[in-house]
Chain A
């Protein structure tokens, strides 16, 4: 199951990249398609932040992960590099867990 998901995702993601290089530009330069592809990452990434931080199975939970996200938010605002943002979040959550 996991392998199928891995190869299907790889195929889909590669096909999208190759389509952009190969298809005639006018086909992909429609305004609405452009707008949709520009906005999709925004909503999906925002949704992923929420789901990864506040979901516990099928319920909403506020736990050490929320503290980690808050710390990550501060790091992002200070323009810290990606790896630092991630490390700050993990360390904060670990500290909160160790303290409670």
Chain B
């Protein structure tokens, strides 16, 4: 393929994927308002946190009446994978120091995936095009979703069920083998066991213990 048409294809793929991912901000905005946040709070979360899993996790805890501390802890643990993505990207892409802060904010599942799978030499293009597309659509969609949810009776339209589904949709692509599946199930069981005996938010943090045996193994 010609270098130029190859570049155009990468841009097209990244914009398509980015817009599709960003559109799920609709559900985040709606779920946030259903959980008791204001439209402004939902929008600030999408602008400043800009990491779907962490945002849904925080809103879930706050909506269930959990403490701020457990919400922050759960969201941060979930956000720790972005740090590893950044390590990988820092060795792969050439990003000048002045743009590091922006690149850091755009470091999420999708920008990393598109950048590391792009053809030789097009990683930078893939990262920035995906990042800018997701950032724009995710924030616009959050606003629209929050405004929409303020109009409808969110429980009647099943929005409370949407949160669990959102986490499931984020979880399944992360399970790559049997041991991953087993560890996920262990985490789910720990959380279920902890629900009746701990305050909201704590079951999720306790579930993190499920990784200990696998991490300590040589």
Contacts and interface: CB of A to CB of B under 8 A. Distances in A.
A4 B158 CA distance: 29
30 contacts: A1-B68, A2-B68, A8-B68, A9-B71, A20-B85, A28-B84, A37-B81, A37-B83, A39-B180, A42-B187, A43-B210, A44-B77, A44-B78, A45-B78, A45-B168, A45-B170, A47-B190, A47-B204, A48-B167, A48-B191, A51-B203, A55-B203, A58-B197, A60-B192, A68-B161, A69-B168, A83-B27, A85-B169, A86-B24, A97-B155
Given A20-B87, A22-B100, A86-B166, A48 B60 contact: yes
Nearest to A23: B87
A12 B160 CA distance: 27
Nearest to B192: A50
A20 B177 CA distance: 26
B81 A48 contact: no
A40 B81 contact: yes
Contacts of A57: 64-65
Contacts, number: 302
Q: Number of contact residues on A: which range applies? A: 35 or more
A41 B77 CA distance: 8
Interface residues of B, number: 95
Contacts of B53: 41, 44-45
Contacts of A94: 156-158
Interface in A55-94: 55, 57-60, 64-65, 67-69, 71-73, 75-76, 81-83, 85-94
